Structure 1
């Protein structure tokens, strides 16, 4: 395995972080590389916490944020992390702020209000700004404003920031009003905008094996048969009808969109000179199976980690199931995007701090 790393370590910036909904730590990679000291991290998922601890140490704790005593949390300069986003996801059921997990958004707000950090960084799915959830989003922004924060938000596409993935996420950055500035989102560095492709991030990897997370979940026999016939850059529509199961044949020949009613997978084979679409928690996207450019298989966990811009030094423990490993990677924040935001925020706090 190589020494892949696109989050170069910056000098310590003197700022402390409380990380909420930390997952397996893909966002932490970026924030630590940007020079922050993460003093405490919380997540509800035991596998994510195990992965985080394995890579970063014992400041992580498995906890339900609704149950935790807010006063027991450390006071830090920055609070980083966004509540689980499935309720706002276009792919999810769309229950929004009334869904069980949606309530976590309001708990997050309560923690910000009580802890009153200099700044917070909140990441979530793009679904949060769709028409359906826009009232919730606007209410959230309004609340952050009411509790004393200047708010900036932006949809960031990881592909614009040196990541080989067209992953769009909403980032909300709040800066405490007494600091007297509004966060400005970073511009892509020279050569980063829509440049990174699969060849750059997985082109040097050897054949899959069981070391260093370079393994994958095999396809079923039926799926493998289809995958074998999907051409480079193509999808299931390029497979002859006689090789497709009935529902995919119907989908291929109908005018309906690619939403196949949840019956089996659609398929997409990427080329080495493509960036992928969003790597998701089950290594499929709206039930579209992402295929390796020239092998009839899914991407390995390590390939997914690299597509998420995580360095090879980040390793998921072997005693976490493959499904859980894919989930940890797909739910994470693209490490280089977190690095960009972390750097910009630290620079702007330093520039605007009153001497």
Structure 2
């Protein structure tokens, strides 16, 4: 079994990053591989922070971004990350900006207004551009412009960018107006567009260790053998890996079962070098993976942003 990696390491680009709502670092995988130096990362969830620290080091801090002293944050070239998205989810209650998590969208904007990075990358669920929340989205774009940013946005399906998963997420990229350019989203590289299927990313993995409910993982390959509700196909991309379903689609091979954490990581385009610590519960591991940004999509956007910042320095 060869080591799985869809985020080839680019040379250091000399740009620094403050990562907000960093989760377990799936997006950080892509940004680091794109050549960025992440100098500070913040998240409220202790398990996500533990996973991030295990893989990337001590620059991560468990903190409540809604109350942190903004002046204490480092000034960086780029701010990266998406506020928790449940309040904008089509499947959720749809509380939007009135929800506790929805309010973090405006906190994110306050931090950018105060720190004035050259650029920011904001990621959120498709529901943010739904009819219910479109006025919030348009208001957010207007506010980003007011505080001095040229803004581009796109609904990105990870499957279009070399990820074996149908995962649609909204990305907003802002560049400071004094830099004189507007970010252009990258086109998929040749061979990436809707090309990978589950067989390509998980077909070589061993059958998992059988695991009882609530037990602890061994090397990210254990699984619960609870029956799940949807049979996947090796010849298609995976459905969206979610946090609350614990990747609850049925594996297409052999005995019906859930996907393992490692399988979910690969479906999220995370390299095998990324490992979740054994002392994080199985349910928390699934949540970390489901909440993450697909690593290869972050890599694509990171590479394009670094190139465009360099061209317009």
TM range (shorter): over 0.9
Q: Where in structure 2 are the equivalents of 1:180-329 lying within 5 Å?
A: 180-209=180-209, 211-219=218-226, 224=227, 267-283=229-245, 289-294=248-253, 295-329=255-289
Deviation of 1:36 after TM superposition, in Å, equals: 0.1
Change in 2 beyond 3 A, CA 1:56/1:284: closer
Q: Which moved more, 1:168-177 or 1:272-281?
A: 272-281
Separation in 1, partners of 2:30, 2:134: 29
In structure 2, the residue matched to 1:30 is 30
Corresponding residue for residue 214 of structure 2: none
| SS of residue in 2 equivalent to 1:145 | helix
User: How much does 1:283 deviate?
Assistant: 3.5
State the partner residue of 1:352.
Answer: 312
- Per the TM alignment, residue 211 of structure 1 is displaced from its structure 2 partner at its CA by 4.0
Give the structure-1-normalised TM-score.
Answer: 0.84
Shift of 1:215: 1.2
How far did 1:212 drift?
Answer: 2.5
Q: Which has the larger radius of gyration?
A: 1
Does residue 292 of structure 2 align to residue 332 of structure 1? yes
Runs of 4+ deviating beyond 4 Å: none
Q: Distance in 1 between matches of 2:276 and 2:245?
A: 16
SS in 1 for 2:38: strand
Find the counterpart in structure 2 of residue 3 from structure 1: 3
What is the distance in 2 between the residues matched to 1:306 and 1:282?
A: 18
What is the TM-score normalised by the length of structure 2? Answer: 0.96
Contact 1:2 1:205 (C-alpha < 8 Å) held by counterparts: no
Q: How much is the aligned-residue C-alpha RMSD, in angstroms? A: 1.1
Contact 2:246 2:286 in 1 (8 A): no
Q: Tell me, yes or no, if the aligned pair for 1:10 and 1:34 is still in contact at 8 Å.
A: yes
Q: CA deviation at 1:218?
A: 2.8
Change (3 A) 1:284 1:315: closer
| Number of equivalences | 305
SS of the residue corresponding to residue 223 of structure 2 reads coil
Q: CA deviation at 1:271?
A: 1.2
Question: 1:177 and 1:125 mapped to 2: Cα distance?
Answer: 26
Where does structure 2 lack aligned partners over 5 or more consecutive residues? 210-216
1:206-231 superposed Cα distances (whole Å, 9 cap, x missing partner): 11135430111231xxxx4xx6xxxx
Q: Deviations over 1:274-303 (max 9, x none)?
A: 101110003457xxx410012310000000
User: Secondary structure, in 3 states, of the residue corresponding to 2:289?
Assistant: helix
1:125 aligned partner: 125
Query: Do the aligned partners of 1:23 and 1:45 also contact (CA within 8 Å) in 2?
Result: yes
CA deviations 1:113-133 (Å, max 9, x no partner) are 000000000000000000000
Is the 8 Å Cα contact of residues 164 and 201 (structure 1) preserved in structure 2? yes
User: What's the offset of the Cα at 1:67?
Assistant: 1.2
Distance (whole Å) between structure 1 residues aligned to residue 95 and residue 199 of structure 2 = 38
